[in-house]
Amino acid sequence: MLISELAARTGVSARALRHYDSHGVLVPHRDANGYRVYAEADVPRVLQIKSMIAAGLTTATIGRYLDCARTGDHGVTLDMCPRLRAEVDAISARLERRRAELEQTRERLGALTS
């Protein structure tokens, strides 16, 4: 299938699919004209990538751990190895710090408007 069909089937833009290709997390075949040609197996792969990006993982991290992704009845899950667990924990800690910073900003804003 061509990029437009994969985009339509996955809800991921063609631009994002080209981004995945440029970062090596989704590698399509090329036809004689150089067009990207995707296989049926790329549909769940794109959905896994999409879920991992939505969870805060970078394409570099996804590239290292995409083989750990599983798609089941409850969506995408990751088989956790110690290195992946450490990266996920670091992302979670960074988000928690950012949440605390936002809460402090909200409190300061509230103090200004009281």
CATH of the domain at 70: 1.10.1660.10
- CA dist., res. 99 & res. 96, Å (int): 5
Give 11's contacts (C-beta < 8 A, 6+ positions apart).
50
Overall average pLDDT of the 78-94 stretch: 88
- For the chain, report the end-to-end CA distance as a whole number of angstroms: 59
Query: Average per-residue pLDDT in the chain?
Result: 91
Name the pTM for this structure: 0.78
Domain range enclosing 90: 80-114
55 and 10 in a common domain:
yes
Q: Is the pLDDT of residue 82 over 90?
A: no
Q: Are residues 32 and 49 in the same domain?
A: yes
Total domains, the chain: 2
Tell me how crowded residue 36 is: count the other CB atoms within 10 A of its CB. Answer: 19
Residues 56 and 107 in one domain: no
**58 lies in the same domain as 75:** yes
Q: Which residue has the tokens 């061509």?
A: 2
Give the separation between CA 34 and CA 73, rounded to whole angstroms.
36
Residue pLDDT, tens place only, 19-43: 999 999 999 999 999 999 999 999 9
User: pLDDT value at position 20?
Assistant: 96
Both 96 and 58 in a single domain? no
pLDDT of residue 76: 80
Task: Tell me, yes or no, whether 66 and 109 share the same domain.
Answer: no
